[in-house]
Amino acid sequence: MSGHCHTGVKICGLTEEAGFDACVENGADWIGFVFFERSPRFVTPQHATRLAQRERGQARTVGLFVHPTDEDIARVLEHAPLDVMQIYASDERARQVADAFGLPVWLSFPVAGREDLPQSCSVQRMLIEPIPPKNATRPGGNAQKLDWSMLEGWQPSFPWMLAGGLNVGNVAEAIRRTGVPAVDVSSGVESAPGIKDPALIASFVRNARTAGRA
């Protein structure tokens, strides 16, 4: 399944200038900053701001939060110019965050099977990804792939995005099989945890765009 003219691409977990610039040069739609201290991609709000102040092209910035308090979010927004907040939280808490901060919110939504897929979306977008492994130290960014067969024929009426274990070699197949309108990647475009590889970013964006047009 496909037929989209533009598959949205988010590159998540930028920590350094070369990776950030590669996102911009290759036309990524969203650039993600991880505000979760136990991640190898963690950045302070000040560091994210310094990166975001570089040329941003068409890209918008996404701040990733894991079960944040309002204070956690406010502390980041004091410095970092975010366009979107991606959060790991309950549906109700995500709605509260959207109301409190007036920014678009994407809700990370881990699923194990087709029966877990959301029926509705009370924020701006649902980010569908796998449930993390039992011993994982973070809820995402584990290079773990979802079983895409559960998404075949799924056509929700709300915006969604696919994350988890995507890379240069499999993103086109993921888009073709699921018809997903936007994809999100972190580990798959890295040379080491937290360090993005500009050449992999270029190939990932190109492969996603080509598949979306097919």
Ligand X SMILES: O=C(O)c1ccccc1N[C@@H]1O[C@H](COP(=O)(O)O)[C@@H](O)[C@H]1O
Residue with the two structure tokens 């310094």: 50
> Roughly how many angstroms between the first and final C-alpha of the chain, as a whole number?
9
Segment 108 to 137, residues that bind ligand X, using CB under 6 A: 129
Interface residue with ligand X, options 8, 68, 141, 179 (CB under 6 A): 141
SS3 content of the chain, % helix, strand, coil (to 5): 35, 20, 45
Interface residue with ligand X, options 142, 177, 181, 206 (CB under 6 A): 142
**β-pair type (182-185, 84-88):** unpaired
Binding of residue 187 to ligand X (CB under 6 A): yes
33 touches 48 (CB < 8 A): yes
- Pick between residue 3 and residue 133 the one whose CB is nearest to ligand X: 133
Binding of residue 139 to ligand X (CB under 6 A): yes
Write down the least CB distance from residue 98 to ligand X, Å. 18
Binding of residue 64 to ligand X (CB under 6 A): yes
Stretch that binds ligand X, among 1-9, 48-56, 97-105, 138-146 (CB under 6 A): 138-146
CA quadruple 101, 85, 16, 6: dihedral, nearest 10: -130
Binding of residue 68 to ligand X (CB under 6 A): no
